[in-house]
Structure 1
Amino acid sequence: MTVYPAIDLKDGNCVRLFKGDMDAATIFSDNPAAQAKEFEDAGCTWLHLVDLNGAFAGAPVNAAAVEAILGTVKIPVQLGGGIRDIATMDRWLDAGISRLILGTLAVKNPALVKEACRLFPGKVAVGIDAKGGMVAVEGWAEASEVEVAELAVQFEDAGVAAIIHTDIDRDGTLTGVNAEASSALANAVSIPVIASGGVKDMDDITRVKTAGNLEGVVTGRAIYDGRLDLKAALELAKC
């Protein structure tokens, strides 16, 4: 299992939101590249980046911060937020991003996501942000009428590398990861599923690991708040 430390970028800073609210952002670092290096030095094998401004704008906004991170670490990086066309995907992959996370596009233009999978094999993940079991888009600002599993099964056999399943109601709240919902999604598709949202401590890492069918877990605030010992989480994930 992989532990993905999260670096959410807003106005060039490393922040965490509360339930996806851009007006409820806590700044944890004004040097995202240095934060990324700390994660790499701790033994992390992947980084999870989100361009929050980009998710709302529909185009990359925090490119300078992302590029600084890519110039600082050697471990693979997955990135979401504001990636809405092939040209943007191509630019990010050329810049060194290892995996693109497509969320809004998966709902509004699934054919383009499938085309991206064909053009960039193994480089495309689908981000499914859930609120009450329904998919949210446009940086979580807009609710869709699409159920989580309904969206996921559209991408069976498309070549999607992973699904990042985020429970928005838990994200940034430290109330516990929704491992049950993520596990249920993993049972519904053959695509690897990564749980995200609400991780509070080592018990959550254990819950994701013992689910038995989840590829990994994304965690942010629990690390920054000191509630989760990152090195201990990484050791448990390797067992």
Structure 2
Amino acid sequence: MTAALGASSCSIGACCIEGGGPFSGCSLGLAYRRRLQSRPQRAPEHCRICAAAFRPCIDIHQGRVKQIVGSSLKDLPKLRDEAGEDTLVVNFDTDLKSTFFAKLYQHSGLKGGHIVMLGADEDSRYAAFEALMAYPGGLQLGGGVTSDNAADFLNAGASHVIITSFVFREGRLEEDRLKHLVQQIGKQRLVLDLSCRKRDGKYYVVTDRWQRFSEFIVNAETLSSLAESCTEFLVHGVDVEGKQLGIDEELVALLGASSPLPVTYAGGVRSLDDLERVKIAGNGRVDITVGSALDIFGGKLPYAEVLAWHRHQEQALSH
């Protein structure tokens, strides 16, 4: 799908990105705020302040902003099955540059989002650098980050770099590599991507475009150990990511109960109710990324309503 988005075709019109701040005149945002005010609170009694944040994303593949089912990614230049058919599942592909989305998030006042390069090609690197420079300090960068190039992305404007395959090699955590990277850039600039899949009742980190199971199990003990070497976790629920099938509630609950650091979950969100499910299952301690479901990425969930939901969470924390 190729899309060209504008004020007439989605919820990110001039009222969302110009003058007066986000939603200064947005009927979608105002309507949703009224709906939130009338909705009964479902937070558990033990959660005195149950809130979460929306973390935006920009996924880049071959230099273009796309939304791809992550489990269909491989490292081959052209992905074909035995019958010669394409196996890469693309939910969204647009002519809009990465800078458009970076500036949108900046105008919306959203921080802590991430750019992920779904490939190591030069076009993707260029698009990533452009987005970082368009919103300096506002976005994290992941995908192909190593000790050789981490500083380049930080110098270009990334708030943090996101690491997976560089420290998870041959199915194991390479502690020496992680230690070296921490010494090089500092743990405060490092986010560990612990995207995982479930096998035999446990969640294992998957690497190499999410195609390879590691031996690393995500649980309270391992999260506590890794917290010494980074400032945040990013976790895609790979089994549901990009499929709009609903969230992996068990994984979210694990992260909310066990992570000693801020953690962002991505995968399967399709509605505002799913945002609420993440908030409740994660006990207000797990932030949320939404991709393919958003109307700015060809989905049905209005960006304006998600941003209004995010503002409501901010207000809850400020009281």
> Measured at CA, do residues 192 and 135 of structure 1 come closer, stay the same or move farther in structure 2, by a change above 3 Å?
same
Q: Distance in 1 between matches of 2:69 and 2:179?
A: 31
The code of the aligned residue for 2:263 comes to V
Q: Deviations over 1:20-45 (max 9, x none)?
A: 31311234323121122223333423
Pairs within 5 Å for 1:1-239: 1-22=52-73, 23-30=88-95, 31-54=97-120, 62-74=124-136, 76-84=138-146, 86-108=147-169, 109-118=174-183, 119-132=185-198, 133-149=203-219, 151-158=222-229, 160-210=230-280, 211-223=282-294, 224-237=297-310, 238=314, 239=316
| Equivalent-residue separation in structure 2 for 1:147 and 1:193 (angstroms) | 16
Q: Deviations 1:160-203 (Å, cap 9, x if unpaired)?
A: 11111111111110111224312313422312221111111111
Counterpart contact for 2:135–2:157, Cα < 8 Å? no
Tell me which moved more, 39-48 or 28-37: 39-48
- Measure the CA separation in 1 of the matches of 2:133 and 2:159: 13
Larger strand fraction of residues: 1
1:90-142 deviation line (CA, Å, top 9, x unaligned): 11111111011111133232332233334324110100111112211011121
For residue 23 of structure 2, what is the aligned residue in structure 1?
Answer: none
Shift of 1:236: 2.3
Q: Deviations over 1:36-60 (max 9, x none)?
A: 2223333423331100013xx8xx7
Q: What secondary structure, in the 3-state scheme, does the structure 1 residue paired with 2:116 have?
A: strand
Q: Which residue of 1 aligns with 2:17?
A: none
Mean CA deviation greater in 34-43 or 197-206: 34-43
**Equivalent AA in structure 1 for residue 293 of structure 2:** A
After TM superposition, give the deviation of residue 213 of structure 1 in Å. Answer: 4.2
More relative contact order, 1 or 2 (CA 8 Å, 6+ apart): 2
Distance 1:216 1:146, change over 3 A: same
d(CA) in 2 for partners of 1:95 and 1:169?
33
Aligned residues: CA RMSD: 2.2
Aligned length: 233
The percentage of counterpart residues that share the same residue type is 21
State the Cα distance separating 1:61 from its structure 2 match: 6.0
CA contact (8 A) 1:183 1:214 kept: no
Looking at structure 2, the residues matched to 231 and 179 of structure 1 have their Cα atoms a distance apart, in angstroms, of: 25
Unaligned runs of 5+ in 1: none
Give me the whole-angstrom Cα distance separating, in 2, the residues matched to 1:187 and 1:117.
26
Q: Out of 6-15 and 99-108, give the one that drifted further.
A: 99-108
Q: Which runs of 5+ in 2 are unaligned?
A: 1-51, 74-87
TM-score by length of 2: 0.67
